[in-house]
Amino acid sequence: MKRKLSLLVLLLTLVSMIALMVGCSSTANIAGKELKLGAIMPVTGPAAEKGKPGIDALLDVIEYINKEKGGAGGYQIKLDWKDSAYNAANVNTIVTDYTNSGVLMFAAMSSFEMTNAKGIANKAGLPGLAVFTAASLYNPPEHIYGQMPEYGDDWVAFANYYMQNIWKGSGKPKMALHLLNNTTGSSVKDVAKAKAEAMGIDIVDIEEHAATTISESDSLTRIKAANPDVIFISSTPQPTSIILKNAKDLGLTSKTVTIGLAHASFTKALIDLAGADVVEGVYGVFPTVTWDDKAPGIAKAKEYLMKNHPGDAGNMDYLSLWCTGLVSAEILKNAVQAVGYDVLAKGDATAWKAVEEQGFQKLNYNVGGIQGAVSYTAGDNRLAKTVKLYTIKSGAITAIGDWVTAR
């Protein structure tokens, strides 16, 4: 009897050990499964002042999501980021690689990068998230989505504010545009041409510049000759700093003319490059809050920034890409919960379709209040519709009012 009991105990022990081993193996297998996210970033080249804090934020937020939130739907996110150097040929190579490497979706920081990526991505059906956007990226709607409002939306928001709160003259105010010679500028030009007359604004001059410009004195001399009441600039921080310094030399400052900026350049990097005295009183539009805001999600962003990249403190491009990680994780979570990991694991057209239809198009997420809430509306691939107006006071970007719907 004792022998039978001993054998029974041994048998039960063996069964328990086998079950434990199987459980451990299963847990290890689940832990090893990842959801692959691509990111095209201008970390070097003429837009590096945006790309460097951008990739810092993306690395930090993915670390936070994986460590503290358990990844996306229980699966770790693997970030496959590439430096485009703000070069079209590099972008084409990167996005082609993404269509063959198991990436489920990708983000591109700049509208220039996504302009060059969208043809390949749309043909393959690979969904993309444009962080800084232009209307041409998703009109007509295909597989590219805008994380935040686009530059034409910035112009509308600023123009409305200017007409309602700044312009006190009679007749139409005269506006000059100074635009980067890619989608960062053309998006503003298209919207301004379409809407200025109805808004009671006279566009008197449109100038363009390159990302590598070293002087805009000639173009600003032409603008000054048009005697504008307001100048609107849509560019990145480095060329915008040159434009503003050249403008000051010509007597075009916030004391003599109203100056407004679209969101690509309106960040701490501009103040550092141009100098606080040059940018004093300049207005700008941006689709996130500032670091001083009380939004619920700011505390965690600050925690990781100070732990990993304290040099980015105060930079709103960091906040933009922190939101990119949060939105991307929400998209992947929606998709994996809807169709299961095995469908996404293939990283093929079927997986991309699931990410787009069950992820992007099922969004309803407030992004911790750091940027406008994201949701999908059929026929409109802009996921967020709200921006904030700011001005620079004593070297600090200062909010003017609450969120406004761009258009």
pLDDT tens track for 151-185: 999 999 999 999 999 999 989 999 999 999 999 99
Is residue 254 domain-resident? yes
How far apart, in whole angstroms, are the C-alpha atoms of residue 189 and residue 187?
Answer: 6
pLDDT at position 210 over 70: yes
How far apart, in whole angstroms, are the C-alpha atoms of residue 188 and residue 111?
Answer: 12
pLDDT at position 84 over 90: yes
Same domain flag for 140 and 224: no
Among candidates 62, 109, 106, which has minimal Cα distance to 85?
A: 109
Same domain flag for 327 and 399: no
Is residue 3 domain-resident? no
Q: At what angle do helices 88-98 and 111-124 cross, to 10 degrees?
A: 40
pLDDT at position 30 over 60: no
Same domain flag for 165 and 272: yes
Backbone angles phi, psi at 228, to 5 degrees: -75, 155
Cβ-based neighbours of 334, under 8 Å, separated by 6 or more: 73, 358, 359, 362, 363
Q: How many CB atoms lie within 10 A of CB 43?
A: 21
Backbone angles phi, psi at 76, to 5 degrees: -65, 145
Q: How many CB atoms lie within 10 A of CB 341?
A: 16
Confidence of residue 20 (pLDDT cuts 50, 70, 90): very low
Would you call 234 helix, strand, or coil by DSSP?
strand
pLDDT at residue 406, as a whole number: 80
pLDDT, mean of residues 216-226: 98
Would you call 301 helix, strand, or coil by DSSP?
helix
Same domain flag for 261 and 401: yes
Tokens matching residue 47: 């837009």
pLDDT at position 13 over 50: no
Is residue 329 domain-resident? yes
How far apart, in whole angstroms, are the C-alpha atoms of residue 133 and residue 382?
Answer: 9
pLDDT at position 211 over 90: yes
Same domain flag for 251 and 396: yes
Q: At what angle do helices 316-339 and 298-308 cross, to 10 degrees?
A: 110
pLDDT, mean of residues 116-129: 98
In the chain, pLDDT over 70 holds for what percent of residues?
92
Asked if 406 and 148 touch (Cβ cutoff 8 Å), the reply is no
pLDDT at residue 25, as a whole number: 32
Domain that holds residue 277: 152-286+389-405
Asked if 205 and 158 touch (Cβ cutoff 8 Å), the reply is no
Is residue 28 domain-resident? no
**DSSP string covering 305-363, please?**
HHHH-GGGTT-HHHHHHHHHHHHHHHHHHHHHHHH-HHHHHT-SHHHHHHIIIIIGGG-
The one-letter code for the residue type at 396 is A
Q: At what angle do helices 237-249 and 217-225 cross, to 10 degrees?
A: 60
pLDDT, mean of residues 353-369: 97
Same domain flag for 156 and 203: yes
Same domain flag for 73 and 99: yes
Confidence of residue 32 (pLDDT cuts 50, 70, 90): confident
Same domain flag for 109 and 161: no
pLDDT, mean of residues 351-361: 98
Is residue 231 domain-resident? yes
Same domain flag for 62 and 186: no
Q: What is the pLDDT of residues 241-295, one digit of tens each?
A: 999 999 999 999 999 999 999 999 999 999 999 999 999 999 999 999 999 999 9
The mean pLDDT of the chain is 92
**How many separate domains does the chain show?**
2
pLDDT at residue 14, as a whole number: 38
pLDDT at position 24 over 50: no
Is residue 124 domain-resident? yes
pLDDT at position 28 over 90: no
Asked if 270 and 279 touch (Cβ cutoff 8 Å), the reply is yes
Tokens matching residue 214: 């070293």
Q: What is the pLDDT of residues 316-328, one digit of tens each?
A: 999 999 999 999 9
Same domain flag for 255 and 397: yes
In the chain, pLDDT over 90 holds for what percent of residues?
91
Tokens matching residue 364: 């309803």
Write the CA distances from 372 to 229, 319, 357, integer angstroms. 31, 12, 21
CATH of the domain at 163: 3.40.50.2300
Same domain flag for 281 and 316: no
pLDDT at position 2 over 60: no
Number of helices followed by number of strands (H, E) in the chain: 14, 14
How far apart, in whole angstroms, are the C-alpha atoms of residue 58 and residue 101?
Answer: 20
Cβ-based neighbours of 299, under 8 Å, separated by 6 or more: none
Angle, vertex CA 370, rays to CA 366 and CA 371, nearest 5: 70
How are the residues of the chain apportioned to helix, strand and coil, as percentages rounded to the nearest 5?
Answer: 50, 20, 30
Same domain flag for 61 and 145: yes
The DSSP secondary-structure symbol of 399 reads: E
Is residue 398 domain-resident? yes
Asked if 111 and 183 touch (Cβ cutoff 8 Å), the reply is yes
